[in-house]
């Protein structure tokens, strides 16, 4: 388990080569590490479902698009899809992301050094998530405190313990704020929009899905931004960084290559609904099947020399970081927009941006992989 948290890639490569669907006692389930098999599992919700009572997020937040399949999943997801299309993301979020990014950079710029997780990527991801949900009158600290309690509650439930009171209270406060927003808030917010959709979700259902949006959009986007900056600063020379700053296409390819190499959400879980053979393994009904996105993204059958960070890799965008099939990430365009703007502005405004050699920066984490801290320097 410790190896999976620190540097899972050598183990994942060994498994992929010898036993691409293998039983791991530490997980209590199967792990799928080959690209084609990972895609097969994610694209077949009839055989590999998320809809299982063991799914810990739904025990804390209630049923939502993340925990349902089939027609019920469509009903929960559809009211939110329009708002996350590329055109809507451009229209509704790009200016906000630019302003917020500039504000955060202006605050750190005079110091010539910063820790980018707590001073930049985290606050940016929280600001965009709260803006999306129309929770702008709630402080970022309050949202982060709810978030931390909900994450802690999901971890407790994953360990087989009951939902802690702090988790129930935090979800209750988030629910009250969202219900207030539905009644009085900005009519253009995602939540207000979803309430008006023809699928007719009830208040509590909109609230559970809104919590999933918040839950799914903070840690992941923070990680995506941090990993992207880190890859550029570790592997890019001065000329490369200037090219990434000035060329939007190269920048977006560099970001795809970063989420290929270190996907911010490294694994997703499914449960087998019937006995099935996959990659030589005999999976039983009810077995946990964990898709290792991190493993699939380094499959040499798809990505040449897969452990290398290649900024111009032609098929970098074929990575599975945002999943595939019915649960493919709803926020992918929004997360990409945040990361593209964040990287462009950081390179533009912080001349000589580089890693601070006094601090470690390797990514950590089993599911949400990112550097716990990212200390950088520049010329103020
Ligand atoms: C703006 C930020 C984001 C938002 C609002 C968001 C929202 C969501 C939502 C609502 C889902 C569930 C979709 C469904 O079940 O039908 C989802 C799934 C997913 N998201 Fe995101 N997400 C964001 C950022 C990210 C990032 C940065 C990553 C990774 C790089 C990511 C990776 C995933 C993955 C792997 C899934 C699939 C989960 C599964 O299949 O079990 N998301 N996202």
- Where are the chain's structural domains? 2-377
- 221 in ligand 1 pocket by Cβ < 6 Å? yes
In order of 47, 63, 125, 158, 222, the CA distances from 129 in angstroms are 32, 20, 6, 25, 11
- 35 in ligand 1 pocket by Cβ < 6 Å? no
Query: What is the rounded CA–CA span in Å between residue 205 and residue 212?
Result: 11
Q: Looking at residue 58, what is its pLDDT?
A: 87
pLDDT in tens, 239-262: 999 999 999 999 999 999 999 999
- 218 in ligand 1 pocket by Cβ < 6 Å? no
CA 331–ligand 1 middle distance (angstroms): 6
Q: Looking at residue 187, what is its pLDDT?
A: 66
Q: Looking at residue 186, what is its pLDDT?
A: 67
**Nearest ligand 1 atom to alpha carbon 68:** 15
The stretch 294-307 carries a mean pLDDT of: 98
Burial of 303 (0-12, 13-18, 19+ CB in 10 A): buried
Band of residue 272 on the pLDDT scale cut at 50, 70, 90: very high
The stretch 125-147 carries a mean pLDDT of: 87
Contact at 8 Å (CB) between 222 and 230? no
Tokens 């978030």, located at residue: 147
The stretch 210-232 carries a mean pLDDT of: 94
Better-predicted residue by pLDDT, 226 or 201: 226
Range in 130-144, 264-278, 342-356 with the lowest mean pLDDT: 130-144
Burial of 282 (0-12, 13-18, 19+ CB in 10 A): exposed
Band of residue 148 on the pLDDT scale cut at 50, 70, 90: confident
Tokens of residue 154, six digits: 């999901």
Q: Which of 213, 292, 329, 340 should be mutated for ligand 1, with most atoms under 8 A from CB?
A: 329
Residues 6+ apart with CB under 8 A from 27: 288, 290
- 58 in ligand 1 pocket by Cβ < 6 Å? no
Q: Looking at residue 28, what is its pLDDT?
A: 93
Judge whether residue 2 has pLDDT over 70. Answer: yes
- 264 in ligand 1 pocket by Cβ < 6 Å? yes
Q: Looking at residue 59, what is its pLDDT?
A: 85
CA 294–ligand 1 middle distance (angstroms): 15
On the CB side of 28, CA atoms within 13 Å amount to 7
CA 82–ligand 1 middle distance (angstroms): 15
CA 17–ligand 1 middle distance (angstroms): 28
> From atom 6 of ligand 1, which residue's Cα is the shortest distance away?
331
Q: Looking at residue 238, what is its pLDDT?
A: 93
Q: Looking at residue 158, what is its pLDDT?
A: 79
Q: Which residues lie across from 281 on neighbouring strands?
A: 278
Judge whether residue 76 has pLDDT over 80. Answer: yes
Contact at 8 Å (CB) between 217 and 128? yes
Residues 6+ apart with CB under 8 A from 131: 93, 96
- 213 in ligand 1 pocket by Cβ < 6 Å? yes
By 3-state DSSP, what share of the chain in percent is helix, strand and coil, each rounded to 5?
A: 60, 10, 30
Query: What is the rounded CA–CA span in Å between residue 275 and residue 149?
Result: 37
**Cβ neighbours around 106 below 10 Å, total:** 10
Q: Looking at residue 147, what is its pLDDT?
A: 86
Judge whether residue 136 has pLDDT over 80. Answer: no
Judge whether residue 152 has pLDDT over 70. Answer: yes
CA 171–ligand 1 middle distance (angstroms): 19
**Cβ neighbours around 368 below 10 Å, total:** 18
Tell me which fold the domain 2-377 belongs to.
Cytochrome p450 (1.10.630)
Burial of 71 (0-12, 13-18, 19+ CB in 10 A): exposed
Mean pLDDT of the chain: 93
CA 267–ligand 1 middle distance (angstroms): 11
> From atom 2 of ligand 1, which residue's Cα is the shortest distance away?
217
Judge whether residue 348 has pLDDT over 90. Answer: yes
Band of residue 17 on the pLDDT scale cut at 50, 70, 90: very high
The stretch 337-365 carries a mean pLDDT of: 96
Say what angle helices 238-246 and 219-235 make with each other, to 10 degrees. Answer: 130
Better-predicted residue by pLDDT, 45 or 135: 45
């Amino acid at each position: 388990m410790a190896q999976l948290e620190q540097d899972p890639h050598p183990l994942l490569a060994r498994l992929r080569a010898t036993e691409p669907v293998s039983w791991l006692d530490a997980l209590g389930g199967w792990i799928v590490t080959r690209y084609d098999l990972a895609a097969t599992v994610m694209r077949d919700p009839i055989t590999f479902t998320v809809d299982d009572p063991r799914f810990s997020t739904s025990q804390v937040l209630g049923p939502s698009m993340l925990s349902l399949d089939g027609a019920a999943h469509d009903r929960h997801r559809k009211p939110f899809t329009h708002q996350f299309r590329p055109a809507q993301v451009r229209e509704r979020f790009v200016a906000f992301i630019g302003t917020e990014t500039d504000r955060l950079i202006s605050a750190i710029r005079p110091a010539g050094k910063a820790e980018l997780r707590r001073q930049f990527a985290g606050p940016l991801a929280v600001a965009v998530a709260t803006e999306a949900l129309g929770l702008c009158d709630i402080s970022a600290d309050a949202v982060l405190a709810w978030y931390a309690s909900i994450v802690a509650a999901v971890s407790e439930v994953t360990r087989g313990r009951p939902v802690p009171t702090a988790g129930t209270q935090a979800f209750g406060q988030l629910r009250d704020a969202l219900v207030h927003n539905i009644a009085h808030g900005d009519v253009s917010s995602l939540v207000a929009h979803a309430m008006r959709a023809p699928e007719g979700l009830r208040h509590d259902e909109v609230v559970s899905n809104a919590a999933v949006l918040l839950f799914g959009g903070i840690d992941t986007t923070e990680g995506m931004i941090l990993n992207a900056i880190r890859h550029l600063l570790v592997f890019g020379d001065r000329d490369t960084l200037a090219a990434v700053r000035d060329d939007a296409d190269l920048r977006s390819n560099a970001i795809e290559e970063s989420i290929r190499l270190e996907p911010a959400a490294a694994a997703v879980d499914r449960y087998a609904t019937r006995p099935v053979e996959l990659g030589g393994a005999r999976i039983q009904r009810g077995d946990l099947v964990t898709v290792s996105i991190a493993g699939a993204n380094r499959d040499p059958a798809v990505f040449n020399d897969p452990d290398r960070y290649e900024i111009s890799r032609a098929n970098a965008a074929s990575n599975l970081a945002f999943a595939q099939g019915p649960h493919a990430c709803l926020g992918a365009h929004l997360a990409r927009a945040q990361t593209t703007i964040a990287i462009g502005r950081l390179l533009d405004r912080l001349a000589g941006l580089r890693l601070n050699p006094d601090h470690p920066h390797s990514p950590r984490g089993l599911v949400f992989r990112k550097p716990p801290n990212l200390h950088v320097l520049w010329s103020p």
